[in-house]
Amino acid sequence: MPMLGRVLASLLCLIAAGASAADAENGKRLYQRVGCYECHGYQGQGALMSGPRIGGKAYSIETLTVFLRTPAGQMPPYSNRVLSDSDIADIAEFMKLMPNGAASGH
């Protein structure tokens, strides 16, 4: 029985880890839905007059959360009602897949 208990505990940990893993595809949908692309571009390339380049940069989820909740400049704040912490983790995962920001278009 102890071996079975350990196997079940390990299985539950794997299931929980998979359930909490960030989802880059959902992050892409959220990035487009809340309008991040309007200032930062579809590839995170940014533009001189609208928003900085964010493609090719690594942001921790904590840093991205603080920035999205309390942004500087003209960027609107994204409260927990607009983007949950899980949503931000998904966007961060999508941002990891962005190229270095040199490309334009989508």
Q: Where are the alpha helices (DSSP H) in the chain?
A: 2-20, 24-33, 36-40, 61-69, 85-96
pLDDT at 69 over 70: yes
- DSSP designation for 102: -
Average predicted confidence (pLDDT) for the chain: 82
Q: What is the pLDDT of residue 73?
A: 87
98: nearest Cα among 22, 48, 49, 27:
27
Mean pLDDT of 83-88: 97
Mean pLDDT of 14-42: 83
Q: Is the pLDDT assigned to residue 20 strictly greater than 80?
A: no
Tokens representing residue 86 in the block:
């899980």
The model's pTM: 0.73
Tokens of 100: 């270095």
Cα 93-95-97 angle, rounded to 5 deg: 85
